[in-house]
Amino acid sequence: MGLERSTDPPFVIRRAEDGDILAAYAVFRRSLGAYLHRLGFIDSPTITDEMVRESWTVRRTWVEHLWRTAAENWVAVDPNGRVVGWAQSAERDGHLELTFFFVNPDVQSKGMGRALLDRAFPRDRAAHRAIFATQDPRALSLYLRSGVRFVTTVVDFAAKPRPTTVTTDLEIEPIMPGPAAIEVIAGIETAILGHRRDIDIAFLLDRRPAWLARRGGKVVGFAFGARGDTVGPLGVLEPDDMPALLAVVENEAAEVGVPELFFSTPLANAVAVDYFLGRGYRIDPFVAAILADDLSMHLDRWIHTNPSYIL
């Protein structure tokens, strides 16, 4: 089972089991709530069971997908059998990404976070590693000691979608789920991120509208649109092509009546930043960072997957 014990206070680190998923998600929500309260974003750090269940209803499909496809999935359990910590990673095409790393705020103890991180995010697990990180100082200290470095800051640009027009020579067409769609999108992702994510692309194609952009018959970009307030990812081979795809996503969202869009945007993507600011998008106060041991990702032409569990 890979058990490890500590006595300050006592806890056990073990591999996650199917029955742990909701308890692990509750640790994530409560830890995130405490963090947002420390930043002044919410009035109370208390996340009730009802709030966890409501959030779970919205995010369940995503969390279950990542749970099923995890490379490493570990929990910390207290002497009463309660899950009090959770760390999970996903490996795609030789790239390991930390997807969840949270400890219940009422039991944070010396050694628990490091023990979880060492198992879920080992240095020797993959060719490259990355983290979509909050700004929590304790977590950042552990991340930076694990061998990753700062790549870029990430913010959410938010607004009610409104119809817009962008002049472009691109031919933009809807794309349907299937092996051909996965292959062409994976090619763009490899050029930008350095790895492909077939299983995640297939998951997204079944749940979000998507488009390909062509120039002279060659695919040069793609975009996943909105279902609810979540969009992405979007990627283009040339940064200047980003506004055309952003406009397609925004127009479709406005047409179907999406009340608000959140684009998770690396600030390295100057073209997208100019698009959002020019259209009056606001910057959500929650700020994150991309940390990685490979600094060659081309995030100047990328919009992240939202919700921000993976790149």
**Per-residue tens of pLDDT for the chain, all 311 residues:** 455 444 455 789 999 999 999 999 999 999 999 999 988 889 999 999 999 999 999 999 999 999 999 999 999 999 999 999 999 999 999 999 999 999 998 886 678 999 999 999 999 989 999 999 999 998 999 999 999 999 999 999 999 999 999 999 999 999 999 999 999 999 999 999 999 999 999 999 999 999 999 999 999 999 999 988 789 999 999 999 999 999 999 999 999 999 999 999 999 999 999 999 999 999 999 999 999 998 999 999 999 999 999 99
pLDDT of residue 39: 87
| Single pTM value for the model | 0.93
Taking a C-beta distance cutoff of 8 angstroms, is the pair 29, 52 a contact? yes
Q: How far apart are CA 65 and CA 38, in angstroms?
A: 30
* CA 27 centroid distance within chain: 17
Give the pairing of strands 149-159 and 282-292: antiparallel
Supply the pLDDT for residue 9: 54
Q: Tokens 């009056």 belong to which residue?
A: 280
| Type of residue found at 100 | F
- pLDDT value at residue 6: 45
d(CA 171, CA 122): 43
Secondary structure class of 7 (helix, strand, coil): strand
- Give the chain's domains with CATH numbers: 4-147 (3.40.630.30), 157-284+293-303 (3.40.630.30)
DSSP string, 150-204: EEEEEEEEEE-----------EEEE--SSHHHHHHHHHHHHHHHSS--HHHHHHH
